[in-house]
Amino acid sequence: MTTWIYVFDEFKPLDIEMGTLLGLSEKDPLKLFEITRDVLKKCTKNIRSVRVYDHYFDPHIFKFLIFEYLVKCGLGEIPAKLIYSKNHRETLAQYYEHEKKRKSLSNNMYQRHLVL
């Protein structure tokens, strides 16, 4: 499996060992982001702040891991996704399906609260 950073519709490979990736993803995903900072600086120039927006993985069959970060920089707020997978493009498509379902559930919950 390989690790990628996805930003501005481009995949950029990263050299992160699996042990490091798993350890930091569990303990401190923002420290995991620090490994990607140099790659992102080339794209964004001035990184002001970063926060974890979402993560996606299947703990039963560890085939992939995605962390989505929101990066505030000179260009505004941009998403950056850290992807660990054999097939990063397919994994990203699965993540977008996950996002649709999550947003749909969130909208349904909001609508139910309005009805009450």
Q: Who wins on pLDDT, 64 or 48?
A: 48
pTM > 0.85: yes or no: no
The answer to whether 77 touches 48, Cβ cutoff 8 Å, is no
Total number of residues shown for the chain: 116
Q: Tell me: the pLDDT tens digits for 26-53?
A: 888 888 888 888 888 887 878 899 999 8
The answer to whether 7 touches 80, Cβ cutoff 8 Å, is yes
**pLDDT grade for 18, boundaries at 50, 70 and 90:** confident
50: Cα within 13 Å, side-chain hemisphere = 22
Q: Tell me the residue range of the domain where 16 lies.
A: 2-115
Q: Count the domains in the chain.
A: 1
Report the distance separating Cα 44 and Cα 7, nearest Å: 10
Q: Enumerate long-range contacts of 107-110, CB under 8 Å, 24 or more apart.
A: none
The answer to whether 69 touches 55, Cβ cutoff 8 Å, is no
